[in-house]
Amino acid sequence: YTLPAGARVYALLQAAGGPLPKANLVALNLAAKLTDGEEVYVTLIGELPPTYMGGVPGSGSGTPSSNLTGQLVNINTASADDLRQNLHVSSTTAQEIVNYRLQNGPYSSIDQLLKVVSKSIYDHIKGLVTIS
């Protein structure tokens, strides 16, 4: 897409027809200014971005900087902010995961997330988390 100089990620998203229903907008800085030739990759909820974009590791406004190593996130110790950033879920979902742990004790099974999140979110994050 061709946009005017100084355009922001939000304008690019609109030029592309808007976000898909499962687009992970939490991982994007919609106010970031674009640079010439920049690639923006919009992940789906629970999806990890590609390690390389355009041949340059970690480039692109849409790629979160955390959890690119494939390291699992411990849902029994992670903060809400850690969950949001590493699992690419909303702040509300991340806080609900933590609140469940605080009210019920440590998760004994990853399947317990189904008591907190929808099946579609669970399907996206179950391979990214651990309980130990």
Q: How far, in Å, CA of 42 to CA of 23, rounded?
A: 7
Same domain, 59 and 77: no
Same domain, 57 and 26: yes
Q: In sequence order, which ranges of 1-132 are alpha helices (DSSP H)?
A: 9-15, 80-87, 91-104, 119-125
Contact 110, 123 (CB under 8 A): no
Which pLDDT does position 109 carry in this prediction? 96
What's the mean pLDDT in 68-89? Answer: 83
Residue 75 to residue 79: CA distance in whole angstroms: 8
| Residue 53 pLDDT > 50 | no
Q: Once rounded to an integer, what is the mean pLDDT over residues 66-95? A: 81
Supply φ then ψ for residue 61, to 5 degrees.
-65, -25
> Looking at the predicted structure, is the pLDDT value of residue 61 above 50?
no
Which residue range is the domain that position 111 belongs to?
Answer: 73-130
Q: Report the pLDDT value the prediction gives residue 108, as an integer from 0 to 100.
A: 96
Higher pLDDT pick, 31 / 106: 106
Mean pLDDT confidence for 46-54: 59
The residue with tokens 């179950």 is: 126
Residues 95 and 77 in one domain: yes
Single out the residue in 64, 81, 110 at which a domain terminates.
64
In 1-132, DSSP assigns E strands to 52-53, 56-57, 73-74, 129-130
6-23 tens-digit pLDDT: 899 899 999 999 888 888
Q: Write out pLDDT tens, residues 85-124.
A: 888 888 889 999 999 999 999 999 999 999 999 998 898 8
